[in-house]
Amino acid sequence: MAWPKEMRDKIRSGYIFDQLTLEMVALKCGVPYDTARRWKMQAAKTGDDWDKLRVAHTLAGDGLETVARTVLISLVVKCQATMDQLNNNPDVPAQQSVELLASLADSLSKAVSSSKKILPETDRLATALEVVQKLGAFISEHKPALYVEFVDVLESFASVLEDEFR
């Protein structure tokens, strides 16, 4: 079946600008996924790389800001969860725990530092995340029975932080 050029353009637009997966945009437009995939591959061969355009569109909007915030929040939550697991698992060798914590701290430091350079407004978020991290360490040290509940609450609170610092 021959599809009109408008349908190919609609698939391309949905994938690049609406940020839908190729499967979703194909389904939404009533085009078989294999057809949409073929169009995408053919376009790439002619220099119309939908993936590169999709990334560029994301970064041109507030996509980079959203990604940076999401990464920071997710990293803090993962750090807290990892600390919790290490604190509750005495079988992990001390050297392995220290190496893991050092790696997490380094990753967090780099993520915060790069966010400050890329997005100065994210500095407020970095400060908030640092406070949350210090609170987590305090709870872990002084009220260990509350730590698991703290991590659960923190996972829910991550979306509040995201919204507040947009």
pLDDT band, residue 4 (cuts 50/70/90): very high
The confidence band for 63, taking pLDDT boundaries of 50, 70 and 90, is low
| CB contact at 8 A, 73 and 162 | yes
Output 160 or 162, whichever has higher pLDDT. Answer: 160
Is 93 found in the same domain as 51? no
Asked whether residue 34 falls in the same domain as residue 113, the answer is no
Which pair of tokens denotes residue 63?
Answer: 């996509």
Answer yes or no: do 78 and 51 share one domain. Answer: no
The answer on 105 and 67 residing in a single domain is yes
Chain centroid to CA 123: how far? 18
Name which of 1-5, 123-127, 155-159 the model is least confident about.
123-127
Whole-number pLDDT of residue 58: 67
Q: Assess whether 114 and 66 both reside in one domain.
A: yes
One domain for residues 41 and 66 = no
* Final residue belonging to a domain, choices 42, 58, 74: 58
Together in a domain, 25 and 51: yes
- CA-to-CA distance for 33 and 22, rounded, in angstroms? 7
* Residue 96: both structure tokens together: 């392995």
66 in the same domain as 25: no
Distance (Å, rounded) from C-alpha 6 to C-alpha 8? Answer: 5
Question: Higher-confidence residue: 83 or 57?
Answer: 83
* Alpha-carbon 70 to chain mean position: 5
Q: How many domains does the chain have?
A: 2
Contact 113, 105 (CB under 8 A): no
* Residues 141 and 110 occupy one common structural domain: yes
Q: Model's pTM, two decimal places?
A: 0.41
Q: Domain range holding 29?
A: 5-58
What's the chain's average pLDDT? 82
Kindly report, residue by residue over 95-148, the tens digit of the pLDDT.
888 888 888 888 888 887 776 666 665 566 667 777 888 888 898 899 989 888
How far is the C-alpha of 71 from the C-alpha of 129, rounded, in Å? 12
Same domain assignment for residues 33 and 115 = no
Are both 20 and 77 inside the same structural domain?
no
59 to 5, 49, 75, 96, 126: CA distances (angstroms) = 28, 16, 20, 37, 20
Indicate whether 53 and 18 sit together in one domain. yes
Tens of pLDDT along 11-53? 998 998 888 899 999 999 999 999 999 999 999 998 888 988 8
Dihedral sign (CA 16, 18, 21, 24):
negative
